[in-house]
Amino acid sequence: MERKLRYVWWFVLVALVIIAIWKLFLPHGTYAYVQKSDSSREIVVYVAGAVESPGLVHLAPDARLDDALKQVQLLPEANLENMNPAEKLKDGQKVTVPFKAVVAPLDPATGNSGGTGGVGSPSAAAPTATAAPATGTSVSVDGKININTAGAADLDKLSGIGPALAERIIQYRTENGLFARAEDLQNVSGIGPKTFEKMAAQVTVGP
C-alpha cells in the first residue's frame, strides 16, 4: 500500500512538472508563430486621382503612404504637398492623389482672370474660358462630339471623361492648336489607349 501511494505521488509530481513546462514555453512559441504569420501577410489599397493608371496596390502590413506612391506612376499634375507620406495605411483603404491648382488665363473680353481652382473644381471646369475659337457646332450631324469646338460641358459627356479630363483637353487644345485627328486625344495627359477606346465612336474633328 505504501509503495502504491509513493507511485501516485510520483505521478502527480511529474504531471505538475509537465504542466509547468507547458505554461512556461508554449506562450512564447505561440506568440512567435503569430508574429511570423502576421509578417507574411499583406494589405491591399486602391490608389486613384492624379495617377497614370488607378488601381490596386499590394503592400506590407506596416506600409506607409510613401510606399504606395512609389508603386504608381504619378501624373505631372499630381499635388503631393498636402499629403503625408508617413501616413500608415490600412487594408482596403482608398488613396486619392489630388491635382495641382490650375490658373485660368485672362478672358479677352473682360481682361479678368478666370481664377484658380483644382482640376475638377467648378472654377477649373468653366466651359469656354480656355477654349480655342469655335469653328463650328460642337456636335456633328451624326451626333459625334467635335473635340476641336466642344466646351467642357460637351466633353464631359464622353465615356471615360470627367470634369478634370475635359479641362485638360481644352487646355491642350489651347496650347497646341486644334486636333488633326481624333486619335490625337491620346496626347492629352491622362488619356491612354483604353480611355480613348471608350470614346472613339463618340468623337470627331470635322463638322
Domains (range + CATH), the chain: 43-97 (no CATH), 101-204 (1.10.150.320)
Q: What is the largest CA-CA distance in the chain?
A: 117
Q: Determine the pLDDT at residue 101.
A: 73
Q: How far apart are CA 163 and CA 118, in angstroms?
A: 11
Low-confidence ranges of the chain (pLDDT < 70): 1-4, 22, 25-40, 102-137, 139-141, 207
Q: How far apart are CA 185 and CA 102, in angstroms?
A: 20
Q: Determine the pLDDT at residue 134.
A: 41
Share of the chain above pLDDT 70, in %: 70
Q: How far apart are CA 91 and CA 192, in angstroms?
A: 29
Q: Determine the pLDDT at residue 1.
A: 64
Q: Determine the pLDDT at residue 2.
A: 66
Q: Which pairing describes strands 43-49 and 94-97: parallel, antiparallel, or unpaired? A: parallel
Q: Which pairing describes strands 145-146 and 116-118: parallel, antiparallel, or unpaired? A: unpaired
